[in-house]
């Protein structure tokens, strides 16, 4: 019998990653013969680790912190959403080519629209943060045709620079600092800052949350001050676990051509 196809998630640190569990579950569910492992790459050894993995028969890899920008530079072909993100989280190895894609933002959109049933089209959408995660979400959110797409960041200059850069790719959005959000409200507020990691509150007015709003924090596994504020304002709140599972499902489909059902795994991990 042939060895199963090899896949991996590459990062540093990597021991905490849920990707091996997620992908091995998808493989079992869809009957795909593959092996998916976690690979720790040295901080100065990402490219070598990828080439070693290809030489050992690797067919594809997910890339996580801190290597997504390096993966972008390593790829010999990029999808439009990877180009807009300036970062790659999914590599596919075919012949001599390394295909780079970014499934994070599409995973977010799928979690919000499918799993949570919150519309994006024609809605007022606010994205907080201008780091790597925010950047990866903008093109897929823009593609859903929201009525407004506003990018706000603690350091307004970073949001403005990102908006200017994306404008050249036809992605139009408004950029501002948190101060300029006073008196405005949104139907979908997405926190793509890392403030929750240090339990820091964001200086956001309560009026931001429209009555029907969904407040979504990309962070998962804890209730962040952003989520707590949204709850106090009486709106629906979600964390980023669904995004994590959906971005993995999209990568799995790119590699294997079959779409796993994410519902049972999401329920299982939520229960845990
Ligand atoms: P970065 O370090 O690239 O960006 C950090 C961003 O957070 C910047 O915009 C920064 O603002 C802002 N920020 C940090 N601290 C504060 C604070 N106290 N108040 C206001 N703004 C703050 O991080 P990433 O973009 O890589 O990650 C962001 C979050 O997304 C992380 O929590 C990460 O875990 C999560 N994530 C979740 C994923 C999922 O699948 N669910 C996937 C990817 C990321 P400034 O520019 O002013 O410094």
Write out pLDDT tens, residues 89-147. Answer: 999 999 999 999 999 999 999 999 999 999 999 999 999 999 989 999 999 999 999 99
Give residue 209's domain range.
105-241
For residues 174 and 95, membership in a common domain is answered with no
Residue 261 placed within a domain:
no
For residues 221 and 118, membership in a common domain is answered with yes
CATH at 53: 3.40.50.10860
For residues 70 and 149, membership in a common domain is answered with no
For residues 192 and 137, membership in a common domain is answered with yes
Mutation choice for ligand 1 from 154, 197, 243, CB with most ligand atoms inside 8 A: 154
Residue 27 placed within a domain:
yes
Q: What is the pLDDT of residues 227-250, one digit of tens each?
A: 999 999 999 999 999 999 999 999
> Counting atoms of ligand 1 from 1, which one is nearest the CA of 244?
40
Closest C-alpha residue for ligand 1 atom 15: 195
18 counts as catalytic = no
For residues 111 and 98, membership in a common domain is answered with no
For residues 140 and 217, membership in a common domain is answered with yes
> Does the structure show a pLDDT above 80 at 1?
no
Cβ atoms of 165 and 175 within 8 Å: the answer is no
pTM to 2 decimal places: 0.96
Cβ atoms of 213 and 190 within 8 Å: the answer is no
For residues 224 and 151, membership in a common domain is answered with yes
Find all residues with CB under 8 Å of 189, minimum gap 6, and list them.
126, 128, 208, 209, 213, 214, 215, 216, 230
């Amino acid at each position: 019998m042939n060895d199963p196809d090899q896949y991996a998630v590459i990062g540093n640190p990597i021991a905490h990653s849920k990707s091996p569990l997620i992908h091995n579950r998808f493989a079992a569910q869809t009957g795909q013969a593959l092996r998916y492992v976690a690979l720790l790459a040295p901080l100065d050894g990402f490219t070598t680790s990828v080439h070693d993995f290809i030489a050992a028969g690797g067919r594809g890899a997910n890339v996580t912190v801190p290597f997504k920008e390096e993966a972008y530079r390593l790829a010999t072909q990029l999808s439009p959403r990877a180009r807009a993100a300036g970062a790659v989280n999914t590599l596919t190895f075919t012949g001599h080519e390394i295909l780079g894609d970014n499934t994070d933002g599409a995973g977010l959109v799928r979690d919000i629209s499918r799993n949570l049933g919150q519309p994006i089209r024609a809605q007022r959408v606010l994205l907080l943060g201008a780091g790597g995660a925010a950047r990866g979400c903008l093109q897929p959110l823009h593609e859903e045709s929201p009525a407004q797409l506003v990018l706000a960041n603690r350091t307004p200059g970073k949001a403005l620079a990102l908006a200017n850069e994306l404008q050249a790719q036809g992605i139009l959005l408004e950029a501002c600092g948190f101060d300029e959000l006073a008196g405005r409200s949104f139907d979908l507020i997405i926190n793509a800052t890392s403030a929750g990691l240090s339990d820091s509150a964001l200086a956001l007015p309560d009026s931001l949350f429209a009555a029907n709003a969904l407040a979504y924090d990309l962070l998962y596994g804890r209730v962040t001050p952003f989520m707590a504020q949204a709850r106090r304002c009486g709106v629906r709140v979600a964390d980023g676990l669904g995004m994590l599972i959906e971005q993995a499902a999209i990568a799995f489909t790119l590699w294997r051509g079959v779409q796993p059902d994410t519902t049972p795994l999401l329920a299982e991990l939520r229960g845990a």
